[in-house]
Amino acid sequence: MSDIAEPGSSKIPGKTVQEYIDELPVWSDGTTLKSTPMTGMQWRIWSLAASGKFFEGFVVFMGGVTVPLITREFGLSASESGLVTSASLAGILVGTILLGGLSDYFGRKRMFIAEMIIFCLFLALLIMVGSFWSLVICLFGIGMALGCDYPTAHMIISESIPSVSRGRLVLGAFAFQAVGAMSGIAVGALVLMLYPDIDAWRWMYATALVPAVVITIGRFFIPESANWLIVRGAHDHAEKAVTRLLHRTPRYPQKVELTRHVIDEHSASKQSFFALFDSKNLRATIFSSAPWLFQDLGTYGIGVFTPTLIAAALGSGPDKIRSPADLIASGIHSAQAAALTTSLLIVGIIFAIGLSDSLGRIKLQIFGFLGCAVGLGIASLSIDATGSTKLYLIMAGVMLFNFMTNIGPNAQTYLLAGEVFPTEVRGMGAGFAAMIGKVGAVATTYGFPILLASIGTRSLLYALVISSVLGAIVTWVYRIETTGVNLDRIGREPEAEIPQTKKVAA
């Protein structure tokens, strides 16, 4: 790369943040590397971000085990039970845009820390609640913290790692949502076996508190995103952040000199929420948010209520429960079966990690949506089945759905939302997309019990099949491929090309 500024350029000599991160070192003794090495700080940032996704899966999907117990303890009606189930998702909806968008103003690191403080506070209060509304408020607060994590965790990873490995590393962190989901269900079953009582749900949530405090402390010891510092005009701080991020032994790069862009009317300090809907960003806004809506309609509805559906197939549904002992036994059996189906989320995300940087995001998202439709279709066949066939069809359909959603839309919508927007509005854009997705999640989880009773399982599953097909169509129509694209170029060039990694002698 030349250090001479082109005529009419708005920058002075230097490299961009991403060019430093993508640089393939050649050491002074002639030693070469086959790929851009990750530093210890980059791995620390990655692991701290992955933990946030774990807590989301853990808390949200544990609801399939805790809600029946909570309903019994507080004597809730069907609508109140639906409110408890959807409270954390409603909090996520608000948190994605209200708190996640603040990362464009206050910085990625500050919001990365703030979200965990909020999470720990409401989690501690949840364990001690004694009334219905305090329960709902605490679950909502936890959801707000998790919602903030959607855009913030993605950005703090993607703005700190090499372009060529961004897909698999972002999705590698996102995979911990599936690990958390399975862990939440497994922990729920284990706690019920060790402490078979109605208030066991408190101990289930309590298991996440100490790890969450540890992660909160760890987040204080990372650098701010240099990309964010650059668009705020803090070039000196950005150079220090890159130096700290890329600290290696032996030292490389020897010195960091960043390109200094002229801050104009499009700078981050002057961007508003409505910038997401101007001619520059509208396509990205539609592309990142609409498929996420269709995806969450199915993923959260099926994920949270899989234990309930399986319990009904096992003949231990609500109409069979006569005592607290029946409820606990049903909870254990359905949680164990749900843990098996949820394990396919992990298998799916493993495939997504391996394929996202080779096949590309768009192909995987379309293929995944269509696969989800097939899985839901198989599950719908169980309605006319009897005996063990009924259970097998539900299990097969849900397992296929979980595999296809994580190889495709569940993983790719998250990945794409943090890539298709320029740095100045990346937090707001990713937050808005996640918020729209959670509109579907909240609507589905709140309305699922009511719809099951009113229109039946068959019609509900058919509606989710249609939403999956629509997700594939919208993805194709508004597609923006970001595989391997340098994030510095997003929104600044008509067509971003996959960058070629350069070798520079130390």
pLDDT of residue 212: 95
Q: How far apart are CA 282 and CA 270, in angstroms?
A: 18
Helices (H), 314-386: 324-355, 361-380
Q: What is the DSSP track for 9-49?
A: -SB-SSB-HHHHHH-EEE-TTS-B-SSPPPPHHHHHHHHHH
Say how many residues make up the chain. 506
Cβ distance 110 to 99 under 8 Å? Answer: no
Q: At what angle do helices 40-61 and 78-98 cross, to 10 degrees?
A: 160
pLDDT of residue 310: 63
Of 474, 39, 470, nearest in space to 249 by CA: 39
Give, in degrees to the nearest 5, the angle at Cα 346 between 341 and 348.
Answer: 90
pLDDT of residue 334: 55
pLDDT of residue 506: 36
Alpha carbon 68 to its chain's center: 26
Q: Which two tokens stand for residue 366?
A: 């379309």
Please identify every stretch of the chain with a pLDDT value under 50, giving residue numbers as ranges: 1-11, 264-266, 268, 316-323, 326, 494-506
Phi, psi of 486 (to 5 degrees): -65, 120
pLDDT of residue 99: 87
Cis peptide before 422 (omega within 30 of 0): no
Which uninterrupted H or E stretch holds 147? helix 132-158
Give, in degrees to the nearest 5, the angle at Cα 414 between 269 and 156.
Answer: 50
In terms of Cβ atoms closer than 10 Å to its own Cβ (0-12, 13-18, 19+), residue 72 is: middle
pLDDT of residue 3: 39
First to last CA, the chain: 14
Cβ distance 204 to 62 under 8 Å? Answer: yes
Q: Which two tokens stand for residue 13?
A: 């000599």
Q: How far apart are CA 52 and CA 115, in angstroms?
A: 9
Fold category of 40-228+278-489 in CATH: Growth Hormone; Chain: A; (1.20.1250)
Of 453, 166, 209, 405, nearest in space to 291 by CA: 405
Give, in degrees to the nearest 5, the angle at Cα 78 between 76 and 82.
Answer: 95
Q: Contacts from 118-122 at CB under 8 Å and sequence distance 24+? A: 118/144, 118/145, 118/148, 119/55, 119/145, 119/146, 119/212, 119/216, 120/209, 120/212, 120/213, 120/216
Q: Which two tokens stand for residue 380?
A: 């719908």
pTM of the predicted protein model: 0.76
Cβ distance 21 to 144 under 8 Å? Answer: no
Q: Which two tokens stand for residue 152?
A: 């913030």
Give, in degrees to the nearest 5, the angle at Cα 87 between 198 and 219.
Answer: 100
Q: How far apart are CA 385 and CA 159, in angstroms?
A: 50
